[in-house]
């Protein structure tokens, strides 16, 4: 446990240091946020704020994970822990890379379009399929899924498990991406979710997840210092897809993807608000919310960004406590 605490602190300090050096570079390269004209008017002042800040977290995660891999691989008795860190790193960085390409295209074209939905989905699908096969064919973790509150698990046929795992990854990354709409919201919510998953890994005694979760928490907390309102840097799709991939990947690794229905309640609500808005507008021509995802509804209702972040984070914290009780 003491080692994991040191890793968290190392990751946190590395994230702060990298951010201090990296943000001015992003400014010089004019890697600035491009706001949607149809978005909240208050966001137009954020135009030009350095984006693609998810690169900061990815650099730290890769470096600290590599350090841990090297440290554990030296001990034959802990070599499996080192080896099992790699799939978790793969799914996290893989999704982040798709987001990086999307952000890069937005900057080059000077608009908010980025990759086409089909191209982005294809990239995410490739990573999802690869990770699902790694879990089932390389690591052989099985296809059983723990059912919250039931204190039991359900074993799925592999032909059902693979599509299910892919759906979990695609849905989670999309939901986390939708949550990234105001300063500090996605970072705060996902940090709490990852902390919950890390605590569960301690309970389950899955050391590689405890290590990797600690690295993620430290990287997120360091980044959050620069991402809270008024943000000095935005995470971009690089960060949101990376965090979504990490959450989905860890939950599948520990066989608790159904727990995300509880602990990831905010990203789920954000997604449902968009779906409800679109469906209702198509049917009636009227809107249910002032704007979606729903954090924009509260923003246009007069809530300050920091209030939205605080309330949504508190809801996530309570949901995570419920999630821990359910295991």
Per-residue pLDDT tens digits for 232-288: 999 999 999 999 999 999 999 999 999 999 999 999 999 999 999 999 999 999 999
Per-residue pLDDT tens digits for 209-226: 999 999 999 999 999 999
Per-residue pLDDT tens digits for 34-51: 555 555 555 545 566 888
- What is the reported pLDDT for 215? 98
Per-residue pLDDT tens digits for 158-207: 999 999 999 999 999 999 999 998 999 999 999 999 999 999 999 999 99
**291 Cβ partners below 8 Å, 6+ apart?**
39, 40, 297, 299, 300
- Which is it for strands 144-147 and 152-155: parallel, antiparallel or unpaired? antiparallel
Strand partners, 147: 152
Per-residue pLDDT tens digits for 116-141: 889 999 999 999 999 999 999 999 99
Q: What is the value of pTM for the model shown? A: 0.94
Q: Is 218 exposed, middle or buried (0-12, 13-18, 19+ CB in 10 A)?
A: buried
- What is the reported pLDDT for 39? 53
- What is the reported pLDDT for 87? 97
- What is the reported pLDDT for 111? 66
- What is the reported pLDDT for 289? 92
SS3 217: helix
């Amino acid at each position: 446990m003491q080692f994991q605490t040191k890793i968290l602190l190392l990751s946190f300090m590395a994230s702060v240091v990298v951010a201090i050096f990296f943000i001015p570079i992003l400014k010089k390269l004019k890697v600035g946020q491009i706001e949607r004209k149809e978005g909240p008017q208050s966001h137009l002042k954020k135009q030009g704020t350095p984006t693609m800040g998810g690169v900061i977290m990815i650099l730290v995660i890769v470096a600290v994970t590599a350090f841990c891999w090297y440290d554990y691989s030296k001990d034959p008795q802990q070599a499996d822990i080192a080896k099992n860190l790699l799939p978790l790193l793969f799914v996290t960085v893989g999704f982040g890379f798709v987001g990086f390409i999307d952000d890069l295209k937005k900057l080059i074209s000077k608009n908010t379009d980025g990759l086409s939905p089909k191209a982005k989905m294809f990239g995410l699908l490739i990573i999802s399929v690869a990770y699902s096969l790694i879990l089932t064919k390389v690591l052989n973790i099985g296809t059983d899924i723990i059912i919250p509150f039931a204190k039991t698990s359900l074993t799925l046929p592999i032909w059902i498990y693979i599509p299910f795992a892919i759906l979990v990854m695609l849905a989670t990354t999309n939901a986390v991406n939708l949550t990234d709409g105001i300063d500090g919201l996605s970072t705060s919510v996902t940090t709490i979710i990852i902390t919950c998953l890390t605590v569960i890994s301690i309970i389950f005694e899955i050391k590689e997840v405890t290590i990797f979760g600690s690295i993620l928490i430290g990287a997120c907390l360091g980044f959050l210092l620069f991402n809270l309102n008024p943000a000095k840097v935005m995470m971009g799709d690089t960060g949101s897809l990376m965090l979504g991939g990490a959450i989905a990947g860890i939950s599948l690794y520990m066989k608790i993807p159904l727990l995300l229905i509880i602990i990831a309640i905010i990203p789920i609500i954000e997604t449902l608000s968009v779906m409800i808005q679109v469906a209702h507008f198509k049917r009636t021509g009227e809107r249910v919310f002032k704007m979606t995802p729903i954090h924009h509804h509260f923003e246009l209702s007069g809530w300050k960004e920091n209030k939205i972040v605080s309330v949504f984070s508190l809801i996530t914290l309570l949901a995570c406590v419920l999630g821990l009780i359910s295991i």
